[in-house]
Structure formats: C-alpha cells, structure tokens
Amino acid sequence: MNLKQNSQVKQRGFTLIEVMISLTLGIVISAAIIQVLVGNSMTDKLNRAIASTQESGRYIVSRMRNELLMVGLYDSLNPNLSTIVDIAEEESFVRNHPVPLAGDFIDRVELGAEDGADGSNDTLVVGLQGLRDCRGYKLGYADDEEFYVVNEYFVSDNKLKCRGFDGRVLRGQRAAVGHNNHAAFTILDDVYSFQVTYGLADPTANNNQTTPVRYVSAANLDAALSSGQHIVNIRLAMVIKGEGDIRLDKEASFKLLDEDSYTAPDKGLYKAFETTVTLRNMRNFARSSS
C-alpha cells in the first residue's frame, strides 16, 4: 500500500521537459509584454513630442501674426500719441520704413532686418505706433501713451527672442528711458531655423493694385524700396523641435521659403511652420501714395 501511494505522489510532479516548456512559454510571454510596454512608451513619447511641437507652432504663429498685423501703423490723430517730436515727420518715416534696415537709425546704426548668410537664421525688425514694445515695456511713457515702437526678432542658441526699442531714441530725438539695457526676451525655445521674406507691391505700375507681385529677402529690400515698391506682406517660416528624446529613422529636411533645403541636426522630431501676414496699414498707404 505504501509503495502504491508513493508511486501516485511521484506521478503528480512535472517532468524536466514540462518545466523547460513552461519556462520557455513564460519567457516568450514576458518578452511580448515588455515589447508592448516599450512600444506604448515610445508611442506616448512620440505623441507628446508631436503635441508639444504643434502647440509651440500654433502659439508662435498666432503671436507673430498678432504683432505683425500692425506693422506700419501710425495714427497722427490718436489723442494718446505722445507729441514730444514732430508728428508729421515721424509719420512719414514710419510709413516709409515699416521694416527698418541697417543705417536707418542714428543710434544702433547696425539695427535692421537681415538675411542670414547661407541659409542661417534671418533677423526681422519692424516699426509701428504702439503702447508697448514686444517685451511689454513702456520705455518711459505714461500708461496710456503711444509712441514709435521698433521690435527686433532673432534666433540665438535655438531660442526665438525679441527686443524692443523706442524709435525716437534710435533716431536721436530722445534719451533712452526704462529700456532695461535692451535685454532680449525669449518667446520660444527649440527654434532651429527662422526665415523671412517680404511681399512687394508696385501700385503705380500695377493699376493701383497692392497684392504682392514678388517676395524678396531682406538683402533686396533697399533696392526695391528705392524703386518705389512697397512692403505689403511678410512671410515667416521656422523649424521647431519637439520635446523628448525621440529618434526617427533619418534626419528631417525642409524647404523654407526662398532658402535651400534645411536638414535637421539630428534624428529628433522636427516640424516646419509657415504663415503669411498681410500688412493692412501698408497696403492702405501704398494705395494712397500711388
């Protein structure tokens, strides 16, 4: 009886082959689960990178459009406009220099829109009548006073920055007040390319039409403006990198405006954004001046 019971006990165990099969199945299942988890993690990282890039792109396009829509604005009849300078003369200057170029100002002679060499980042400088510069500074004026604002946008260390000036200081008509040493504020991180072109109209030669007939870089603006053409549009294009450690199969390439193809510096997630801003004030000025 004891021998029969022992035999029955032994029969309830697992053979070596069964153990090996169980271990193999366990490893296969575990590997599959780990692979799913890794895949989900990568998908989550990719989704977050795409979302962050889209959010950054929408933000900067919206902000730049809102700020650039008013380029060339000057209302000499506005009761809030500071009148410490010759208003009629300043109006003419602002209208004829909506995008200042190097040499337009007495102070900071080098300040002006620039075309980056060999596809490097451009610099955008614009002028308008406003309450504050692009950093939110009043530059010594009263809370409700408007003045000639000059804003500069450029990229440094892959950060899109802005810097504001009192145009009257730049023209040598007033001493600088409240300028905070003209410190530049970062308005967006992870910007790897910033390109600008300018839409030109010639109402005199085009039956008083102010739709742009061509787009040029900042390097061609001086000659175009001297020939009687007007800046009526600004096109912006930029490449923004998504957040997170994302690695794609190869580096992304983009064609931005009039530049040669731009290739991202690594295999991260990059996305290009582009917008065209119509300068309504300049189109009205171009019609009236023709």
- Tell me whether residue 22 is in a domain: no
- H-helix segments, 104-256: 167-170, 221-226
User: What is the pLDDT averaged over residues 263-268?
Assistant: 90
pLDDT tens digit sequence for 276-290 = 999 999 998 888 876
User: What is the pLDDT averaged over residues 74-96?
Assistant: 96
- Tell me whether residue 211 is in a domain: yes
Token pair of 17, please? 């082959």
What is the pLDDT confidence band of residue 5, given thresholds at 50, 70 and 90? Answer: low
- Tell me whether residue 189 is in a domain: yes
Which among 13-17, 87-91, 208-212, 286-290 has the top mean pLDDT?
87-91
Q: What is the predicted pLDDT for the residue at 154?
A: 98
Q: Is the pLDDT of residue 223 over 80?
A: yes
Q: What is the mean pLDDT of the chain?
A: 88
Query: Which pTM value belongs to this model?
Result: 0.84
- Tell me whether residue 40 is in a domain: no
- Tell me whether residue 4 is in a domain: no
Q: How many domains does the chain have?
A: 1
Residue 167's domain comprises 47-289
User: What is the pLDDT averaged over residues 89-116?
Assistant: 96
Name the least confident of 77-86, 96-105, 129-138, 260-269: 260-269
User: What is the pLDDT averaged over residues 163-176?
Assistant: 95
Name the least confident of 18-32, 165-179, 275-289: 18-32
- H-helix segments, 75-186: 87-96, 167-170
Name the least confident of 35-49, 94-108, 144-158, 182-196: 35-49
Measured over the CA atoms of residue 55, residue 59, residue 61 and residue 62, the dihedral's sign is positive
- Tell me whether residue 56 is in a domain: yes
* 3 state DSSP class of 275: strand
In 82-210, at which residue ranges do the beta strands (DSSP E only) sit? 124-130, 147-156, 159-166, 185-189, 191-201
Q: What is the predicted pLDDT for the residue at 42?
A: 58
- Tell me whether residue 21 is in a domain: no
- Tell me whether residue 30 is in a domain: no
